[in-house]
Amino acid sequence: QVQLVESGGGSVQTGGSLRLSCQASGYIVSTYCMGWFRQAPGSEREGVAAAYIGGAGTYYGDSVKGRFTISQDNAKNTLYLQMNSLKPEDTAMYYCAADLASCSPWWEGSWTDLHYWGQGTQVTVFS
């Protein structure tokens, strides 16, 4: 089992920045891919960014490319999402997720296939 705990959400003005953290614990050596999804009220869950654990490959959704950066600190078992130039449309609940086999759920939208989820952290961007 893998446990994921997010932190770092909050309210910020348009153009501001936030950094989300996802602390992983448990049998994390089994984790292949970790990343972030978000979901706004009335909207589909959207893959934001993902990273191959221990590798160099990353994925970003089109709506966040150039503004968000995913990174990992393996010594701390922590995944980060640096969010810059935030827009009101970035307002959503952000969830950390992990998969044992693939990063494809992030760009395929098959988030129901993912193995582990955090409880979510709210990000609100106001104009």
pLDDT at 3: 94
List phi, psi (to 5°) of 29: -65, -20
Cβ atoms within 10 Å of 50's Cβ, excluding its own: 27
Cβ atoms within 10 Å of 124's Cβ, excluding its own: 15
Q: Are the CB atoms for 9 and 42 separated by under 8 Å?
A: no
- In the DSSP assignment, the letter for residue 61 is -
- From first to last of the 127 residues of the chain, give the pLDDT tens digit: 899 999 999 999 999 999 999 999 987 777 899 999 999 999 999 999 999 987 779 999 999 999 999 999 988 999 999 999 999 999 999 999 999 888 999 999 889 889 999 999 999 999 9
